[in-house]
Amino acid sequence: MTSPIPIPIPISTPTVPAPLPRPDRWHRPLIGVAVVMAVLTIATGVLAIADPREILGQNAWFKPLKFVLSTAIYAVTLAWLIGQVRRFRRAAQVLGTITAVALLVEIVVITGAAAAGTTSHFNITTPLNGALWAVMGGSIVVVWLATAAVGITVALSPGPDAARNLAVRAGIVLGIAGMGLAFLMTSPTAEQLNDFQGVAGAHAVGVADGGPGLPFLGWSTEGGDLRIPHFIGLHALQAIPLGLLALELLSRRVPVLRVPRVRFGLVLIGALAFAAMLAIVTWQALIGEPIVRPSAPILLAGIATAVVAAMAAGAVLAAGIRTVQTSGDR
């Protein structure tokens, strides 16, 4: 009779975290995409300085610049995640390559639209613009589905550290949710349906796209903006695993962070707080409220999330300190 496969669970014995897996199995096509995005970051940055044209009130090259930066970070993260897959590795490799191609297609359309002096998103003013928007929309769906599938393969390949497993899984789930929020932008608004001008969909809620916004980011300062929860959720894929990495580095100097149960608890609290924040900014965007002027309910929800998370983290750390003290007395 074979013994069951052990499942890593948080333990209370203080230990120094094991070294992180070496990046020798990172997905090469996605790393290639990241390199291309790094080059395009320089190119679009120069063009943003040299070309004064504006699209919807912003420099024409700001949008490609933001997208190539975000795509570079995303590609590196997904390449690393695929490198950690043990089971279904071949499937993960294929999905990564599909994602790499889809990301390049999206960037080509966005950059080409900027060069032509027109918008890329929601633009169906001409048959060509409509076809390009459909291609880009299709590539976005492919990236979303492929990321979800990669997330499943990663979840089926757990490592020995429970906190690391939780950080990666929570980052993937929240990242997929953030990517999915982009679909809320694709439906035409009531104003667009009443006076159709070849645009179907919008970033802003309650106001037209192209109004006053935050510098560079362009997020509306007059109404809601669905780009905010989309951005925050998408980058949970990096934020939560990086948060765990910070805890592991600090554990070399802070003994309480060497307790696996403490690291697991802090990651869990951080992931739940991140999810609550994502829900709050999504709520704020959908009611047409600008990020710079939160109403009392939004502000109270944010404060309550921060207070509860801080209290929970304090309780986890206090329990961990008792564990360290107990183990030191033995």
Residue 4: the pLDDT is: 44
Distance from C-alpha of 79 to C-alpha of 321, rounded to nearest angstrom: 37
> Taking the model in full, what pTM does it have?
0.83
Angle (deg, nearest 10), helices 236-250 and 260-286: 150
- Can you spell out the DSSP letters for 125-168? SSHHHHHHHHHHHHHHHHHHHHHHHHHHHHHTS--S-HHHHHHH
pLDDT per residue as tens digits for the range 54-83: 888 889 999 999 999 999 999 998 898 888
Distance from C-alpha of 159 to C-alpha of 93, rounded to nearest angstrom: 19
With the C-alpha atoms ordered 14, 19, 25, 30, is the resulting torsion angle positive or negative?
Answer: positive
Residue 218: the pLDDT is: 86
CB count within 10 Å of CB 86 equals 13
- Can you spell out the DSSP letters for 245-268? HHHHHHTTT-GGGGSHHHHHHHHH
pLDDT in tens, the chain (330 residues): 444 444 444 555 666 666 655 655 789 999 999 999 999 999 999 999 998 998 888 899 999 999 999 999 999 988 988 887 878 888 889 999 999 999 999 999 999 999 988 888 877 888 888 888 888 888 888 988 888 888 888 888 777 888 988 998 999 999 999 988 988 888 877 777 777 777 777 888 988 888 888 888 889 999 999 999 999 998 998 899 889 889 988 988 889 998 999 999 999 999 999 999 999 999 999 999 999 999 999 999 999 999 999 999 999 999 999 888 886 545
b/e map 249-274, b = 16+ CB within 10 Å: eebeeebbbbbbbbbbbbbbbbbebb
Distance from C-alpha of 81 to C-alpha of 96, rounded to nearest angstrom: 10
Distance from C-alpha of 58 to C-alpha of 50, rounded to nearest angstrom: 14
CB count within 10 Å of CB 121 equals 21
Torsion angle of the four alpha carbons 131, 137, 141, 146, in this order, in degrees rounded to the nearest 10: 80
Residue 189: the pLDDT is: 76
Distance from C-alpha of 171 to C-alpha of 240, rounded to nearest angstrom: 6
Domain edges within the chain = 23-157, 161-185+196-330
Amino acid at the residue 205 = V
Two tokens, residue 306: 């921060």
Contact predicate 296/198, CB 8 Å: no
**Mean pLDDT computed over every residue of the chain:** 87
pLDDT per residue as tens digits for the range 204-232: 898 888 888 888 888 999 999 999 999 99
Residue 11: the pLDDT is: 55
